[in-house]
Structure 1
Amino acid sequence: MNQPLPSADAVISLHDQLLARPGWPKSHAPSQPQASVWHWIETNHLFNSRLWAEEDLARRTQVSDAEIAANKRAIDGFNQARNDATERVDELLLVALGLVDPASANSDAPVSRVPAGARLNSETAGSMIDRLSIMALKVHAMAQQTRRTDADAAHIATSQVKLQRLLEQRADLGACLDSLLADAQAGRAYFKVYRQFKMYNDPRFNPVLVAERQARGGQA
């Protein structure tokens, strides 16, 4: 990755710009090449945004069960894609930092290159960027609540308080991301690619899907 490490301010700015874009997230595809970490930061935000919208639809009470089931299946797919993008962000950042063997970075068992005396950070930079994406969605949604014309003054005031707290929490998380990347670049800290291994989405590992396949006469 021949580019500077992403800063929290740049990530937050991208998240907010995308949320303000007309048609987002339905009619959009990442604009950066796949070798760029920004492609995967954008992809992660895209699927978090689609996941957010689908979660709202899944709470409907006046539609058929079939529609809710379709929402739940879409949620599974978007969640898997969001996690895949998070892992790809970590792979690219760790390769850029020299903290993982490049040949193994995309495998199920990436090989870390740990500087002497460096501390292990339990949360990865990719997962922090994923959380910043979710925070952006919360900030965006809460800001909309503060502008409602059909809500009373108490609701608006409560929403404004919540919005300020969300902005503070996002700024805190962004500062932690910048600190982690700076420490990793200086050899003081490292993180790893952590695979989620979402077994419920994999027909080879989900025991219910395995049983269904066996009942149809297929192999486990």
Structure 2
Amino acid sequence: MKFTETAWEIFSQSIEDYHLTDNVEATIKNPFPDGSLEQLLYAKNWIDTVQWHMEDIIRDEDIDPTEALTLKRKIDSSNQKRTDLVEFIDSWFLDKYKNISPREDAKINSETPAWAVDRLSILALKIYHMNLEAQRETASEDHRKKCTDKLNVLLEQQKDLSEAIEQLLFDIENGKTKMKVYKQMKMYNDQSLNPILYQNVKNE
């Protein structure tokens, strides 16, 4: 089975498992062995799925402002965990390909394997929820038709993105593309880099 087929199955399982409770406070029950790529992929999509629903909740116009602020903090934390996990998955790929010697004319891809997988994980969520809307009985026929059209585009995107990821991995394995990773170095969560945060520390 191709890597992207395995990843898609794991993402789909994670999404289905989340919707057994449909609760952003639900505890993850990762079924895969610790340290395995499967375990990392499941954890990655679980974070994405929980955050997807937190983003829905915070857009409720009647949400209590205090609750919204608390939720915003959780979304920020989730974003950081998502970034950390993507970089961890890239480290997995780096280790896998550490003995590959790139050719002299090897190119550098604008996106690492893990960040491409990140897009695939989000796409799995888009397809899942667009499919629900395309079949929602309480919606109008026009709504379902529009969502079906969008779903078909997303499915085509899944095919194309999966093909692109497979090609990228093939090129890395064959030395045609360099496996190179840059850390995101996000600044807004860093107390030493965000002016608002480090000014608050000085004022204490």
TM-score calculated relative to the size of structure 1: 0.85
Total equivalences in the alignment: 200
1:92 aligns with 2:92: yes
1:7-26 paired onto structure 2 within 5 Å: 7-21=3-17, 22-23=20-21, 26=26
Cα separation, 2, equivalents of 1:66 and 1:38: 37
2:139 alignment partner AA = A
1:140-193 superposed Cα distances (whole Å, 9 cap, x missing partner): 110110121111100000000000100110111010000000111111112322
1:211 alignment partner AA = Q
1:47 alignment partner AA = I
Counterpart selection for 2:183 from 171, 181, 195 = 195
Percentage identity across aligned positions? 30
- Asked if structure 1 preserves the Cα contact closer than 8 Å seen for 2:54 and 2:71, the reply is yes
Q: Cα distance, 1:122 vs. partner?
A: 1.1
1:110-153 superposed Cα distances (whole Å, 9 cap, x missing partner): xxx64432111110000011000000010011011012111110
Cα separation, 2, equivalents of 1:32 and 1:140: 22
Cα separation, 2, equivalents of 1:20 and 1:51: 15
Cα separation, 1, equivalents of 2:21 and 2:36: 24
Cα separation, 2, equivalents of 1:23 and 1:197: 34
Cα separation, 2, equivalents of 1:171 and 1:99: 30
Q: Cα distance, 1:63 vs. partner?
A: 2.0
Instruction: Give unpaired runs (5+ residues) of structure 1.
Output: 101-112
**Residue in 2 that maps onto 1:64:** 64
- Asked if structure 1 preserves the Cα contact closer than 8 Å seen for 2:97 and 2:172, the reply is yes
Instruction: Give unpaired runs (5+ residues) of structure 2.
Output: none
Cα separation, 2, equivalents of 1:118 and 1:13: 32
Cα separation, 2, equivalents of 1:34 and 1:195: 23
- Asked if structure 2 preserves the Cα contact closer than 8 Å seen for 1:37 and 1:93, the reply is no
Q: Cα distance, 1:33 vs. partner?
A: 3.6
- Runs ≥4 residues deviating over 6 A: none
2:7 alignment partner AA = V
TM-score calculated relative to the size of structure 2: 0.91
1:8-39 superposed Cα distances (whole Å, 9 cap, x missing partner): 11111111122122236723233334432222
- Asked if structure 2 preserves the Cα contact closer than 8 Å seen for 1:90 and 1:192, the reply is no
